[in-house]
Amino acid sequence: MRLPRCWELKNCNLQDCPAYGNTSAPCWTLLAQAFQVTGSGFPSRGVCRACKVYREAQGDEIAQLAHAFGDIILAIRTKAEEVSKSERKRKLLFDNDPNGVFLFVPSEGRILEANATAMGMLGCCKEELLERDFMSVLEPEDRRIFWERASSSGPGEAFDIPKLRVKRCSGDTLVVDLHARVLDPRELAMESEGQCLLIRMVDVTKRLEEESLLLQASKMATLGEMATGVAHELNQPLNVLKVGADFFRKMAERNEAIPKDKFLTIARNMSEQVDRASRIIDHLREFGRKSEFQLYPTDVNEAIRGAFTLLGQQLALRQIKVELDLDPQLPEILADKNRLEQIFLNLITNARDAMTARDDGAPRRLRVTSRLRGDKVLVEFSDTGVGMTEEVKRRIFEPFFTTKPPGEGTGLGLSISYNLVKDFKGTIEVESEPGKGATFRLTFPARRESESHGEEAASHR
């Protein structure tokens, strides 16, 4: 038999009753709940003496037991609705996250869940994506980096890996910033053993394309600045070739024989100068080309020497003495040689300008050192330029900040260098005082031997 509700009774005037108008339960249940929360004056079921519902609902033990079961069912229904509402909210947030989100269990080698953004990002339908191993989404070298970070992180720990390359189902490549947290499968009521990774990927492909254009513009500006020095650098081998060719022509016109040893010496010099000019031209072509971002084993010392190949003559014309103290046993780092050289060129040109800005006759000297410190490769560029104030040091890596006169600097060189160093997992610091020159200190993680076996390290099952 249905219990009457208080609002159905003509003699009930409790318009402010918390149960008024609620058809989900008998009024005393709602009043008891209200009392527990608000302490509104209803200490227990039955004190609402004015309510006929309560008085008429009293009965024997069976009736009271039925009422108790009704309360239990109501509580279960209420909790189920709360859980359902929470689940709908979670799913709404998960599916509408603007970044790709994955749930990955390495021990099972598959993606357990992915949101709509992840599917769009990789160009796969849900069925196709959930059949894939997340490791297969990554490029081989990036696979090793990801697995190294994931396997060294414990439950509750998070890690970030910038600029990982992922393969779409169509075969083309995206670059993403990856953020991951290690979860305990038991927290998700899963029977899997080992780690469970919640992964979020942010597509930075377009941003990198824009950065690449900016980097290319900076390269072209650097090449424009170096034009005079490069022309002088090429003039030297051309002069040697001309002198040698003129000597051969004159000897031929006079019908004079050229001693064999002299002939071989001149020919050898001419050949060496052709090789020298070819190296300069090839280096210019290599430096000027637009390159895609990628990390591979790179010799830091080779990149330093490459920068001086383009700027060495320019420094000599300004009476700047260059001192190189490079460790020949230096391990490689994971970087892009073209972009690493861009960093060094920016530092050299800044040192050049800082030294030529001095008019007090101070010696002009640029010292470059490289050495291994612990597991880091350390590179220092020290000059005897005008130095920097604390205010300039604080802003030196800001985009478009420059202390040079208008038209003589874009303010992008050090900003670009800073971001490139970060791309190579390195750091860059500056130490300087006015009138005492400046030292730029760069560190990069030394490449370990195990990193040469990316595919093997990525094999985790």
Q: pLDDT tens digits for 103-154?
A: 888 877 778 788 888 888 888 887 777 777 888 888 877 888 888 888 888 8
Single pTM value for the model: 0.52
Which pLDDT score is estimated for 76? 81
pLDDT at 453 over 90: no
Q: Reduced to 3 states, what is the DSSP secondary structure of residue 128?
A: helix
What tokens does 145 get? 């980096």
Residue 68 neighbours by CB distance under 10 Å: 10
Selection from 78-87, 232-241, 341-350 with the highest mean pLDDT: 341-350
pLDDT at 298 over 70: yes
Selection from 204-218, 249-263, 404-418 with the highest mean pLDDT: 249-263
Stretch (H or E) spanning 243:
helix 205-253
Distance of alpha carbon 69 from the chain centroid: 57
Across the range 319-337, mean pLDDT stands at 93
pLDDT at 368 over 70: yes
Distance CA 171, CA 76 (A): 50
Which one is predicted more confidently, 287 or 56?
287
Domain ranges of the chain: 6-94, 100-203, 208-451
Residue 159 neighbours by CB distance under 10 Å: 16
Which pLDDT score is estimated for 365? 95
Distance CA 299, CA 333 (A): 7
| Structure confidence at residue 36 as a pLDDT band (50, 70, 90) | very low
pLDDT at 3 over 60: no
What residues form DSSP beta bridges with 200?
A: 101, 179
Distance CA 217, CA 413 (A): 11
> Which strands sit side by side in the sheet containing 100-105, from one edge to the other?
110-114, 100-105, 196-203, 173-183, 158-167
Across the range 355-366, mean pLDDT stands at 89
Q: Yes or no: say if 105 and 191 are a contact pair by the CB < 8 Å rule.
A: no
Q: CA dist 155 to 105, 159, 210, 250, Å? A: 13, 11, 37, 83
Angle at CA of residue 389, ends 385 and 393, nearest 5° = 90
Distance CA 356, CA 337 (A): 28
Which pLDDT score is estimated for 81? 77
Angle at CA of residue 298, ends 223 and 291, nearest 5° = 45
Query: Poorest-confidence range of 146-150, 284-288, 448-452?
Result: 448-452
Across the range 255-276, mean pLDDT stands at 85
Q: Yes or no: say if 283 and 306 are a contact pair by the CB < 8 Å rule.
A: yes
Helix 205-253 to helix 260-288 angle (10° resolution) is: 160
Nearest to 215 by CA among 416, 399, 409: 416
Distance CA 4, CA 6 (A): 7
| Structure confidence at residue 216 as a pLDDT band (50, 70, 90) | low
pLDDT single digits (tens) 40-62: 444 344 445 445 445 555 555 56
Which pLDDT score is estimated for 219? 64
Which one is predicted more confidently, 349 or 209?
349
What tokens does 357 get? 């800005």
Upper half-sphere CA count for residue 95 (Cβ side, 13 Å)? 7
| Structure confidence at residue 432 as a pLDDT band (50, 70, 90) | very high
Per cent of the chain over pLDDT 70 is 68
| Structure confidence at residue 455 as a pLDDT band (50, 70, 90) | very low
Sign of CA dihedral 429, 431, 434, 435: negative
Q: Same CATH fold, 208-451 and 100-203?
A: no
Pick the CATH number of 208-451 from 3.50.50.60, 3.30.70.890, 3.30.565.10, 3.40.50.300: 3.30.565.10
Distance CA 68, CA 202 (A): 52
Query: Poorest-confidence range of 146-155, 299-308, 317-326, 340-349?
Result: 146-155
What tokens does 331 get? 């391990």
Mean pLDDT of the chain: 76
| Structure confidence at residue 330 as a pLDDT band (50, 70, 90) | very high
Sign of CA dihedral 125, 127, 130, 131: negative
Q: Yes or no: say if 116 and 129 are a contact pair by the CB < 8 Å rule.
A: no
pLDDT at 9 over 50: no
Which pLDDT score is estimated for 458? 37
What letters, b where the CB count within 10 A reaches 16 and e where it falls short, cover 312-327?
bbbbeeeebebeeeee
Quote the CATH superfamily of domain 100-203.
Answer: PAS domain (3.30.450.20)
Per cent of the chain over pLDDT 90 is 17
Which one is predicted more confidently, 104 or 284?
104
Across the range 247-256, mean pLDDT stands at 87
Which one is predicted more confidently, 378 or 209?
378
What tokens does 376 get? 């880091």
Which one is predicted more confidently, 454 or 163?
163
What letters, b where the CB count within 10 A reaches 16 and e where it falls short, cover 345-371?
bbbbbbbbbbbeebeeeeebbbbbbbe
